Chains A and B, each alone.
Chain A
């Protein structure tokens, strides 16, 4: 694959890797802990996440152009580390894709298409994902940019249309909750922001590797502000108590939009746009998994028979692993732990191992590049 991803595309990719599912899950989770101070938790977690993104971006910018992440790791840290790391990451990306797919289809089934079997919906989505993977990361990157540009006016529109319903007093009293509640509330969003680790896979295909830092940080900041915006809006319109029971707060918001007597109940339009962004996120993660599998196992997962295989696996896995849709707390805490583990700890570990291995190699013999 050629190096053709620009900094703007990199930012858009990070944005799309974080926002779509975060937008859905975060308002409720944060408000459960801190109610009307949710925005403070969010600001805190954005700040921390930006620092983490900077760290991840710097690690990523050491990549060599054109050399896939896993192979570069092999060069820097040795075969075993690379294989293990690659395998773990592949499993991680795959499972996030599976979870996100499941949550996405649950939402669609709950809000939009009630009677269509979820299996069919998942099958259709997996087919589209396979098609996207076949076209390569560049195509996905381009669409991410377009979606990012379209998001701004849409959010603005939603804001303007809901102005009448907002009650600024809902923000008071400020700082009603203790600092450790605020910090606790910030953990879940921070977990989601750590998805910026996808920059590690993207960096080798960027035109300038140094752009990776900028992309990661900008992506986190933009998605952070969007998330903040969403949380603020839910807070201002519904109040903290009500949001705690709403599963899909942002869409309840859009359900309230009424312009005159003819532009009502149009939340399906916003939902459709949001669906497009979820497709992008799923596409990114699926391609991430495929790419890692390809480089770790050295088999052409991007081509037809194996691609169909992994697509089929994703479909079946997503359809059958979730006998019940419920059990929110378990899902959230497990997901957060997973996000922390694979997005932050793993790269940290790998970076440390790279350094270590580099030192060993340098003292031992010639360079480690294969």
Chain B
């Protein structure tokens, strides 16, 4: 009695949550250290527990609670669930029906043993803490309260969710067209289906005091280096925040460097890309409620690899990959180069080009730098407007924006035609970069380089690039230098950077450079020896260059 009273008083005390009771088939999910945790144990009386739960929820309409058996005020059995979160059919068929039948047979259900045999549901957990009960209830479990015993939670997770659809942002022409959804379970399904290996380890976290979002950390044991695994585990465990509504939140919490325009963590909507990353030693962070899965650690070159590269032939893939790198530089440098060359280094232009540009500039009121900034900002506005536009109006506005605005501006003599071409080409080149966050970084750098290029010409651009390169070279993503394999130079890994060598030649996985943080290598052989089809396959798979203490 007193215990129960104590539970009513401060319902939100910060203590450690305990793990749910043993003997369950489910793995344990690490909850929060601090936060809104309820303390106290459950009483052994069904009626008490029922009223406690109802009170905690403030008698919400969607909390369904029923008592079975016994008398009206003293049931033997209590069933509680939250209607929006459960699969009603499952609850009725697999929980209520067997229990109702049992109660009809006139007898309280004695202990766990019988319950285990009664309910045809896989996941079943025994609880005796209020906190655990709430967690499970809020996750879509049905709570079964037994008189004289504690409580049980059975998994009846259901409710509406989006079906597996095509990815919206990272589309390919050839390759799988499935995309992650907001449901953690579906996402895990998609991953497990592709990586049918027992080495695929999944560790669970619950992050967010109010949202209690389930976050899974997935990696391939034996391939992923232990250092980053440990580090990500540590950082995920350290997050203490109210809400996690998207993987973007997690990304900002676990990323290493805050003051950089370059992303150090990839995100992907595609299960095949995530699986490929897992097979290369990356660690995936799957967040419930977000279709974007994080992949870490990520190096610079990974942001330029698209899944399509591996599904198409190597020659076209190599060509397109080189175009991507060129487009990256174009999207950073083109406006600033244009400004620098036309205002500081006019001698570099061929004479006809110079004359054409000069005649276009007659009558234009702004200096080149101002003109460029103006046009770039206008384009960013147009781009943002295009994102917000309702779909029906969208195409019309984009045509209006691009053609009419640009053309009219030129004819009014406000900007020169060459500037329009430069700005549009820069923007188009920006879209070629496969990963949106890298493209976003490029957009920001472009402005900085424009400013320095406009003040100090090519010298300024060179200084700016120098700063950028020094910065890139000293960035680390979970202990791995960001510019691997370019700097430090790892010859073996260069086979997948500029070009993509044909599959039979990709015998080893990209090895990590020799850093202490990496803590040794996993298995580096990508192919078994028998899988090579060509005749000169006598050489066994190459030894990795660096130490390979595969920790198994």
Contact = CB atoms under 8 A, between A and B. Distances in A.
Interface in A58-78: none
B404 interface: no
A116 B343 CA distance: 14
B487 A146 contact: yes
Nearest to B350: A262
A266 B345 CA distance: 10
B6 interface: no
A222 interface: no
Interface stretch (A15-23, A38-46, A134-142, A162-170): A134-142
A265 B456 contact: no
Interface in B444-500: 456-463, 465-467, 469-471, 473-474, 481, 483, 486-489
Nearest to A5: B488
B348 A8 contact: no
A108 interface: yes
B314 interface: no
A22 to B, nearest CB: 20
B165 interface: no
Contacts of B463: 124-125, 128, 279
B50 to A, nearest CB: 62
B347 interface: yes
A317 interface: no
B348 A268 contact: yes
Interface string B325-363: 000000000000000000011011011010000000000
Assign chain B's interface to a size class. Answer: 20 to 34
A196 interface: no
Interface residues of A, number: 37
B36 to A, nearest CB: 41
Contacts of B514: 4, 207
A140 to B, nearest CB: 7
B534 interface: no
Contacts of B348: 265-266, 268-269
Given A112-B457, A131-B467, A275-B459, A145 B474 contact: no
Contacts of B466: 128, 132, 276, 279
Nearest to B460: A124
B489 A145 contact: yes
Interface string A33-58: 00000000000000000000000000
A354 B212 CA distance: 65
A144 to B, nearest CB: 9
A72 B456 CA distance: 43
A132 B470 contact: yes
A187 interface: no
Contacts of A108: 459
B474 A268 contact: no
B384 interface: no
A275 B473 contact: no
Contact of B350 (A113, A128, A138, A264): A264
Nearest to B344: A113
A158 interface: no
A125 B464 CA distance: 10
Interface in A251-295: 261-266, 268-269, 272, 275-276, 279
B456 A113 contact: yes
A353 interface: no
Contacts of A135: 470-471, 473-474
A128 B488 contact: no
B516 interface: yes
8 contacts: A112-B457, A113-B459, A128-B466, A135-B471, A143-B487, A145-B487, A261-B351, A279-B463
Interface of B: 344-345, 347-348, 350-351, 353, 456-463, 465-467, 469-471, 473-474, 481, 483, 486-489, 514-516
